[in-house]
Structure 1
Amino acid sequence: MPGPGLTVVAWTLLALAGLALPGGTGTAEEMQVHTDPDSGLMTWHWQGEGLSLDLAQRLPDQTRAFFLGRGFDTEDATFIAGHCVFQGVLRNTDRSASATVDLRQWRSQTPNGAARPLPNRDWQDEWASREVPEVARIAFRWALFPGEHRFQPGDWLMGMIVFKHPPSTTFDLTVHWRQQTTPRQSTLPDLRCAGEPERDEAEP
Structure 2
Amino acid sequence: MYAHELAATALRGEPERLRREAYEELRTEHPALAAELADTPLLAPTHTVHVETVLDLGGRRVLLRHPGRGHTEADLVVHVPDADVLVAGDLVEQSGPPAFEDSYPLQWPDAVADLLRLTTARTVVIPGHGDPVDVDFVRAQHAELAKLAWLIRAAHTGSAPPERVAAEAPFGARPALVAAHRGYLELTGTA
The structure in which a higher percent of residues are helix is 2
* Structure with the higher strand share, 1 or 2: 1
TM-score, normalising length from structure 1? 0.25
Compute the TM-score of the two structures, normalised by the length of structure 2: 0.26
Which protein has greater RCO, CA pairs closer than 8 Å, 6+ apart?
1
